[in-house]
Amino acid sequence: MRTNFLAGFSALMLTAVAAAGQQAGAPVDPRPANDPDQKSAFAGQTKAPERRSNVAFEVVQIAEGLENPWSIAFLPGGNMLVTERPGRLRVVGADGKLSEPVTGLPDIVAGGQGGLLDVVLDPDFATNNTIYWCFSQPKEGANNTAVARGRFVDGAAPRVEDVKTIYEQAPSLNSRLHFGCRLVFRRDGTLFIAQGDRSITEGRMQSQNMDSLIGKVVRINRDGSIPKDNPFVGKDGVRPEIWSIGHRNIQAAALHPATGELWEVEHGTRGGDELNIVERGKDYGWPTIAYGIEYRGGQITGGIQQKEGMEQPIYYWDPVIGPSGMAFYTGDLFPAWKGNLFVGGHATNDLVRLELKDDRVVGEERLLTDRKERLRDVRQGPDGAIHILTDATNGRLLKMVPKAGSQ
């Protein structure tokens, strides 16, 4: 259990809550848990009270015609990079115009949950024009999560040059599921790669294996080399890339704006979507401990939710939201939301807003419920607007802005 308290950030949260005039109430989701006999590890770990912020906003469409878009990255000057899961990278202009697919990407196997996934800019993009992307990599009779980097060249025919694959998950498996994958740069310039367990039994059980990269968060340098201060460097039988273990299928990750810690959200089965603070060398339990039940019904592994030496999620959903992207809100467009965490509800077709106190969730709100669209990524843009990708064959790039006349 985490016991540290982030006093400054907590005060900001309490100020925002007070400004919104919220009171504790019933949980936002009235549905019963899939296993009503399971007990959470601490009060407030699930079903936080609904807190409606009553913030007036409107949703503006930036672009449409994207095929199952997956991730957004903001380029200097107002353009954006958007990945499409079938294997295309597009430049989206501020006017919504879509470029031709960016050329120069390595081979990608698209199908199931695999394809072209996350994309991020190098911390020094302004001087090196380097981007990084996560994708499902084809192998003979198998596939795996991989990360490549390249120099982005914009223009009428955008492309990437000097492409190098800097990370390959091992072992490769024959699965179309649970690739992850989110990329997050640490403040020291190293790169976190948040992955999945590949879903099939062979992969699931490797989440606890230290000689496997499946079901792990790994940390590498920007050139693909391994940081010397990773927690397991030099240990026999342990992959030195590993930062943390015991993850199921990470779909969202971001640095906490005050602490710089990595927060992630991962899919559960029927119940057990988790919000975790990922610390070096820690074990997050999958599949030994988990909330919820198997998709087909019945207990997960041994049917236990707590075990010494394994971390608890700071929050979980049962029933699930089917998490997608996430973003801490730090902008000025929505003062009442400052410090809140936004998570896409891919299964519930909504945007989940979480109010935080220290490292605990104290309130939850569901937004965009009337739109009934599957959300894939959530990012704060440079202008402070909340940008959202909808997951559809005619996917859209949207942004939330203050409603006209509301400020």
pLDDT in tens, 128-154: 999 999 999 999 999 999 999 999 999
Structure tokens at 67: 């095929």
Residues acting as catalytic residues? 178
Kindly report the average pLDDT of the chain as a whole number: 94
Instruction: For Cα atoms 100, 105, 107, give the angle at the middle one, nearest 5 degrees.
Output: 120
Residue 183 lies in a domain: yes
pTM of the model: 0.93
CA distances from 395 to 64, 389, 391 (A): 6, 7, 5
Residue 178 lies in a domain: yes
Domain extent, residue 266, equals 7-402
User: Would you call 395 helix, strand, or coil by DSSP?
Assistant: strand
Q: What is the mean pLDDT of residues 355-373?
A: 97
Q: Which of 18-22, 39-43, 46-50, 174-178 has the lowest mean pLDDT?
A: 18-22
User: Would you call 213 helix, strand, or coil by DSSP?
Assistant: coil
Q: What is the pLDDT of residue 25?
A: 83
C-alpha 324/C-alpha 376 separation (Å) is 5
User: Would you call 261 helix, strand, or coil by DSSP?
Assistant: coil
Residue 359 lies in a domain: yes
Residue 166 lies in a domain: yes
Q: What is the pLDDT of residue 16?
A: 40
Q: Sheet holding 57-66: strands in order across?
A: 57-66, 395-402, 386-390, 375-380
- Is the Cβ–Cβ distance between 399 and 392 less than 8 Å? no
Residue 1 lies in a domain: no
Domain count within the chain: 1
Residue 2 lies in a domain: no
Give me the CATH number covering residue 331. Answer: 2.120.10.30
Torsional sign, CA 107, 103, 129, 393: negative
DSSP-assigned letter for residue 12: H
C-alpha 199/C-alpha 221 separation (Å) is 27
C-alpha 122/C-alpha 131 separation (Å) is 6
